[in-house]
Structure 1
Amino acid sequence: MTTVEINFDGLIGPTHNYAGLSLGNVASAANAGEVSSPRAAALQGLAKMKQLMDRGLPQGVLPPQERPYVPVLRMLGFDGSDAAVCAAAFAADPALFRNAFAASSMWTANAATVSPKPDTADGRVHLTVANLASMAHRSLEPPETEQWLRLAFGAEQHFCVHSALRFGVHFGDEGAANHMRLAPAHGATGVEVFVYGEDKGGRFPARQKRRASEAIARLHGLDMKRTLFVAQSDAAIQAGAFHNDVVAVANEHVLFTHEHAFEDKAKFYNALEDALPGVLIVEVPSAEVGLEDAIRSYLFNSQLITLPNGDMALVMPQECRDNIRVWDYVQRLLDKNTPIREAIVIDVRESMRNGGGPACLRLRVQVDEAAMAAIDSRFLLDERKWEALNRVVETHWPERITPGDIGNAALWEQAWAARRALLAEMGLA
């Protein structure tokens, strides 16, 4: 039975703004306080989805979460109408309100960790919702993420959705951004790689805890002989690689990685080659692309995909082309004898300025034909739905948001109305 990979992208929400909430995310901090363009951001994300659809790849979409998020503000003692709650929270604690306003659920690589059918003990696709406990604004996301995942993947004969891990930062889990799967093909038994961080007293924290990754592997029923737990390089974390997917990406039997992605790369490479004979490790030397260039361009936050003809392509941000050293390396890579034969350059500048590249915007789910047919079709894109979502965004999304706008009641009402219009269009109201 044929197995395909579906990318479920998060549609960028109407409150997309640059509040600089993510410690360790260089781009997020650098652009804090700038003017954002939510409408352009969402249209850029939709254009990326369309480019992959046009290449013959199935594409899914997850809606943005409700923001401003009034329920959490009510839990903190603010009351009255929704607008009154927001006004009181903004007046009392603007920093708190900015966390309740964030559109960060757009980065669905952090929505969950996914293990496909060939790797799990019960032969189902397992998804564990990420708790995102290390960042206040992101810790608000798991309940609604779980709601959408349970709806999209509700066919229990094919899917098993696990709630987010408990115990807060002690089991901090950032989802698929710190998880890679390598296999001879999507439908073959694979090796799952969980990348965790170790806090060593640096200025930026490690977000993924090893114990969280181990718990997810147990929940998914993985074969521990084909499951690797690997420490991320602290040098990469301190350089701004807050997730592993900023310095490494894998697809089928190919690992594309920076030289300084892992703390003990020799041990990892040996273990990976033992677990998956035939794996191809494409390592980018720091002498050709330094960590700073890799992180600024998000070269490794490209989507590494398999095209219908069997070749692989890197779906990379325009920032890779704009960086001379990175683009020179990419040209050399495409001339080498590897499965990576093409670079597809896209514009996701609004997301990039907030610290999320193409790979941040998608959750990869590998399914066979029967499981594919069981996915709730409201979350799957086709040409008609794509055009309809574009119309909703063009009609309802704010054109721009300045830092001063975040306390504007008219903007809150517009954001809530925009989301209602989207959910109605998707049949999810």
Structure 2
Amino acid sequence: MSTASEINFDGLVGPTHNYGGLSMGNLASMTNYGAVSNPRAAVLQGLDKMRTLIRLGLTQGVLPPQLRPHLPTLRAFGFTGSDAQMIEAAHAASPSFLYNTASASSMWTANAATVSPSADTQDGTVHFTPANLGSMFHRSIEAEQTGRALKAIFADDKHFTHHAPLPYGGAMGDEGAANHGRLAAAHGEAGAELFVYGRSAFEKLEGMKFLPRQALEVCHAVATNHKLRFENTIITRQSRKAIEAGAFHNDVVSVTNGPCLFYHEEAFEDLARTQADIRKACEPLGFEPVFIEVPAAEVSLEDAVTSYLFNSQLVTLPDGTMALILPTEAEENPRTKTFVDGMLESNSNPVSQAFYLDLKQSMKNGGGPACLRLRIVLTEAERAAVSTGAILTEDRITELETWAVRHYRDQLAPADLGDPFLYEDNCRALDELTQILDLGPIYDFQR
């Protein structure tokens, strides 16, 4: 067994964080449409979460935000002239179109890509596939920049293999690690990878209020491209009931860590089959999966979705025990709080601590602690090959906080996205950020 650790690479909240209500099926996003956001508070809340994990003894990484509004999209749709002229013309012609190009949704890096650690792949490298995010227009424009950032941070082809996003058309959606989990006896040991889909891309669906976003065919393609072992790969279906309740990604109703699957009773279409398939995949790896089920009678799907109980981070601490990193909404909901308290008191699972964090700016757009991070398991050699600026220290977090206070607005309404000075401010902010993180020229305006 190689020594390896899991690093959470959190997305840094972008300066255009706003409540444009762009994500159909995401109840929080839809409910808070048009509200005034606070980008400065949002980025500081995210950085505080990263500092909390460092203080728990974990390694913490960061991924940069994308530049918004996305001018290549404006140009592709026929807007011309200077940067300012394009933004002003787009806002005058169609505010909703501009809002889509100005979304800060790349902050939710659980959707950025699917990552398989070297212990699971047949060629012994870490594999990355940026998600095509084709189900939502405002997210579909992220993939190219996501791939560019990942290649800048994980540049050594001896250790890292990068794939292109999968083609998108019709319902061939890939929503990244929000529908992917991994079970292993320890991070450095070979694991069983769990892919959860909502539909086949070629399936006719009728009568659904919200459509699934993750395609079955995508799960197969990512598993194949990542050279995963067939016998250690599970592909299972998310329940229609969960999707209809607002669980637009499976990480709203389940989360994995180590040998544990923490899930809602109604997360999967066929729970018994899912459990059997997981046991079968884990058996040749020499460990028994630990199922932590939350009964619907104790926590309803509505409670799970509004509190984001399962969109928590389930992490292994240096002493080998596990902790939940939860939003304060899960603490404020009496049913989810009661269940978590019971988990901590029980001897039947390895979860021993819970930490509740204020992430209200992200939560109002439907993104909890797990949405904000992409989990990447790295050996010591692989960790040494990562760009050093992307690994955080408390001092670097303090530097980022100072940077954010200097550049981010404390109020932003969707209509403000049409201000061309906002784009200019964002360019200056991100140019400085690449220097802080030592990323080089990853943005178009720098190249």
For the aligned pair, the TM-score class normalised by the smaller chain equals: over 0.9
Q: Report what 1:275 is aligned to.
A: 281
User: Which one of the candidate residues 408, 425, 436 is aligned to 1:414?
Assistant: 425
Q: Report what 2:254 is aligned to.
A: 248
Q: Give 1:10 deviation, angstroms.
A: 0.4
Q: Give 1:193 deviation, angstroms.
A: 0.7
1:331-360 Cα shifts (integer Å, max 9, x gaps): 011111210111011111100000000000
The aligned amino acid for 1:97 is L
Paired positions, count: 429
Q: Report what 1:181 is aligned to.
A: 182
Q: Give 1:416 deviation, angstroms.
A: 2.7
1:140-161 Cα shifts (integer Å, max 9, x gaps): 1001000000111111111101
Q: Report what 2:144 is aligned to.
A: 143
Structure 1 vs Structure 2: percent identity of aligned residues?
51
Q: Give 1:201 deviation, angstroms.
A: 3.3
Q: Do the aligned partners of 2:83 and 2:420 also contact (CA within 8 Å) in 1?
A: no
Q: Report what 1:20 is aligned to.
A: 21
Q: Report what 2:344 is aligned to.
A: 334
The aligned amino acid for 1:216 is V
Q: Report what 1:191 is aligned to.
A: 192
Q: Do the aligned partners of 2:255 and 2:310 also contact (CA within 8 Å) in 1?
A: yes
Q: Do the aligned partners of 1:398 and 1:414 also contact (CA within 8 Å) in 2?
A: no
Q: Do the aligned partners of 1:38 and 1:400 also contact (CA within 8 Å) in 2?
A: yes
Q: Give 1:391 deviation, angstroms.
A: 0.8
1:162 aligns with 2:163: yes
The alignment yields a C-alpha RMSD, in angstroms, of 1.0
The aligned amino acid for 1:146 is G
Q: Do the aligned partners of 1:14 and 1:419 also contact (CA within 8 Å) in 2?
A: no
1:374 aligns with 2:385: yes
Q: Report what 2:89 is aligned to.
A: 88
Any gaps of 5 or more consecutive residues in structure 1? Answer: none
Any gaps of 5 or more consecutive residues in structure 2? Answer: 200-204, 442-447
What is the CA–CA distance in structure 2 between the aligned matches of 1:168 and 1:115, rounded to whole Å? Answer: 25
Which is worse superposed, 380-389 or 23-32? Answer: 380-389
What is the CA–CA distance in structure 2 between the aligned matches of 1:365 and 1:399, rounded to whole Å? Answer: 32
1:102-157 Cα shifts (integer Å, max 9, x gaps): 00000000010011111101001101110000000000100100000011111111
Q: Do the aligned partners of 2:95 and 2:415 also contact (CA within 8 Å) in 1?
A: no
1:284 aligns with 2:294: yes
1:170-197 Cα shifts (integer Å, max 9, x gaps): 4310000000100111111111110000
Q: Do the aligned partners of 2:389 and 2:436 also contact (CA within 8 Å) in 1?
A: no
Q: Give 1:273 deviation, angstroms.
A: 1.4
The aligned amino acid for 2:421 is A
- Give the number of the structure whose residues are more often helix, by fraction: 1
1:167-225 Cα shifts (integer Å, max 9, x gaps): 33443100000001001111111111100002453010100000001000110001111
The aligned amino acid for 1:86 is I
1:398 aligns with 2:414: no
Q: Report what 2:318 is aligned to.
A: 308
The aligned amino acid for 1:158 is H
What is the CA–CA distance in structure 1 between the aligned matches of 2:387 and 2:420, rounded to whole Å? Answer: 35
Q: Do the aligned partners of 1:16 and 1:102 also contact (CA within 8 Å) in 2?
A: yes
User: Which one of the candidate residues 225, 236, 242 is aligned to 1:230?
Assistant: 236
Q: Do the aligned partners of 2:260 and 2:291 also contact (CA within 8 Å) in 1?
A: yes
SS at 2:371's partner residue?
Answer: helix
Q: Give 1:412 deviation, angstroms.
A: 2.8
Map of 1:213-224 to 2, 5 A cutoff?
A: 213-224=219-230
The aligned amino acid for 1:339 is P
The aligned amino acid for 1:238 is E
What is the CA–CA distance in structure 2 between the aligned matches of 1:361 and 1:319, rounded to whole Å? Answer: 16
The aligned amino acid for 1:308 is P
What is the CA–CA distance in structure 1 between the aligned matches of 2:260 and 2:418, rounded to whole Å? Answer: 47
Q: Report what 1:41 is aligned to.
A: 42
What is the CA–CA distance in structure 1 between the aligned matches of 2:414 and 2:388, rounded to whole Å? Answer: 37
Map of 1:61-72 to 2, 5 A cutoff?
A: 61-72=62-73
What is the CA–CA distance in structure 2 between the aligned matches of 1:227 and 1:144, rounded to whole Å? Answer: 29
Detail structure 1 runs of 4+ shifted over 6 Å in the superposition. Answer: none
Q: Report what 1:203 is aligned to.
A: 209
Q: Do the aligned partners of 1:200 and 1:234 also contact (CA within 8 Å) in 2?
A: no
What is the CA–CA distance in structure 2 between the aligned matches of 1:269 and 1:427, rounded to whole Å? Answer: 44
Which is worse superposed, 385-394 or 271-280? Answer: 271-280
The aligned amino acid for 1:371 is E
SS at 2:256's partner residue?
Answer: strand
What is the CA–CA distance in structure 2 between the aligned matches of 1:54 and 1:299, rounded to whole Å? Answer: 22
Q: Report what 1:111 is aligned to.
A: 112
What is the CA–CA distance in structure 2 between the aligned matches of 1:352 and 1:101, rounded to whole Å? Answer: 19
Q: Do the aligned partners of 1:18 and 1:33 also contact (CA within 8 Å) in 2?
A: yes
